[in-house]
Amino acid sequence: MKALLVLSLISLAAPAAAQVKMLGNTPDVQDPLAPPPLPDPIAESAPLRLSLMQTSQAQEGDEKYQPEVGQAGKDVIWVPTPDSLVKAMLTVAEVKPTDYVVDLGSGDGKIAIAAARDFGARSLGVEYNPDMVALARRNAQRAGVSGKASFINGDIFETDFTDASVVTMYLLPSLNLKLRDTLLKMKPGTRILSHAFTMGEWEPERTISTDDATGYFWIVPAQVAGRWAFEVGNERFAAEIGQQFQKLSVARGGPLKDGHVKGSTIHLVRANGQELVGELRGNQIVGSGWVATRIRSAG
């Protein structure tokens, strides 16, 4: 009887053990009798609360300071560039994600923000008014580009922006002229854009017109003035080249007729009408089937 009782207990336990083993080897399945899980209201609302907090902080800052069109600045009064011209200028300059755009006198930050938001570029705004800088940072936060568009409180004539590939500005003609030498020393090919005002004798490559504003576009030219020794096929000759901004000049009756510079690309026309197009590489201009070597720099 005792043995039969033990066997009966073993047989009753075996199915239960097998059931446990099967449950252990099956994937997790929600218990249909268990109550539904309750969402964590604190965890789920965290992003929303953070967004609301940032918006609240921005609004608090806006309540403390809002600029007025025509308000006085260090060297100019503040008048924002129309959105249509901002887009047109950045489009003409072919701004892309690899560019670094610097806006001189950035005000509320709209140009630097547009460069980051609409063209994917990294950008910097330089602004003398600290309240404007704070506003621009709030605007960048609201636009979702705080990581790409930054702003500093600084003087445009004391700030180093030589690593920019695109420079934008809305200044007075006298300030443009004051900046001109600095801009011309930047890397050849750097694009320069100005709302409303030109650069004196430095003629723009293009005038940009919208319904409500006008802008101007320049490309920093390479410096090629001097005497060059040319090898064009089997021909050898030397020529003196003068330069005023992007325009090149040559002596009448010589082997060259005229030319111009676009960034680091040199366009020359020989007296016989042959066009020579090449890239400046150090002290050489290298083209297809020809090369010129600088013998002496101007001055």
Question: pLDDT tens, 260-290?
Answer: 999 999 999 999 999 999 999 999 999 999 9
Q: What's the length of the chain?
A: 299
**How confident is the model over 81-110, as a mean pLDDT?**
98
Higher pLDDT, 31 or 168: 168
How far is the C-alpha of 232 from the C-alpha of 128, rounded, in Å? Answer: 52
How do strand 235-244 and strand 226-232 relate by DSSP bridges? Answer: antiparallel
- HSE (CB half, 13 Å, CA atoms) of 73? 28
Radius of gyration of the chain (CA): 34
Asked if pLDDT for residue 117 goes beyond 80, the answer is: yes
Asked if pLDDT for residue 293 goes beyond 90, the answer is: yes
Residue 181 has a pLDDT of 97
How far is the C-alpha of 101 from the C-alpha of 161, rounded, in Å? Answer: 9
Asked if pLDDT for residue 178 goes beyond 60, the answer is: yes
Residue 69 has a pLDDT of 78
pLDDT-derived band of residue 59, with 50, 70 and 90 as boundaries?
low
pLDDT-derived band of residue 2, with 50, 70 and 90 as boundaries?
very low
Residue 31 has a pLDDT of 55
List the structure tokens of 127: 């602004």
Which range among 48-57, 127-136, 253-262 shows the weakest confidence by mean pLDDT?
A: 48-57
Q: Minimal CA–CA distance to 289: which of 276, 271, 279?
A: 276
In percent, how much of the chain has pLDDT > 90? 73
**How confident is the model over 13-33, as a mean pLDDT?**
45
DSSP, residue by residue, the chain? -HHHHHHHHHHHHHHHHHHHHHHHHSPP---TTSPPPPP-HHHHTHHHHHHHHHHHHHHHHHHH----TT-B-SSSB--PPPHHHHHHHHHHTT--TT-EEEEES-TTSHHHHHHHHHH--EEEEEES-HHHHHHHHHHHHHHT-TTTEEEEE--TTTS--TT-SEEEE---HHHHHHHHHHHHTSPTT-EEEEES--BTTB--SEEEE-SS-EEEEEEPPP---EEEEEEETTEEEEEEEEEETTEEEE-TTSSEEEEEEETTEEEEEETTS-EEEEEEETTEEEETTEEEEEEEE--
Question: CATH topology for 83-219?
Answer: Rossmann fold (3.40.50)
pLDDT-derived band of residue 3, with 50, 70 and 90 as boundaries?
very low
Asked if pLDDT for residue 76 goes beyond 90, the answer is: no
Q: Are 175 and 75 in contact (CB under 8 A)?
A: yes
Residue 42 has a pLDDT of 53
What is this structure's pTM? 0.79
Q: Output the CA torsion sign for 31, 32, 34, 36.
A: positive
- Strand partners of residue 151: 125
Which range among 13-22, 60-69, 252-261, 281-290 shows the weakest confidence by mean pLDDT?
A: 13-22
List the structure tokens of 259: 């030319």
- Strand partners of residue 143: none
Q: Are 100 and 142 in contact (CB under 8 A)?
A: no
pLDDT-derived band of residue 17, with 50, 70 and 90 as boundaries?
very low
Q: Are 256 and 244 in contact (CB under 8 A)?
A: no
Residue 54 has a pLDDT of 52
Q: Are 176 and 198 in contact (CB under 8 A)?
A: yes
Q: Minimal CA–CA distance to 222: which of 256, 201, 245?
A: 245
Asked if pLDDT for residue 16 goes beyond 50, the answer is: no
Alpha carbon distance, N-terminus to C-terminus of the chain: 123
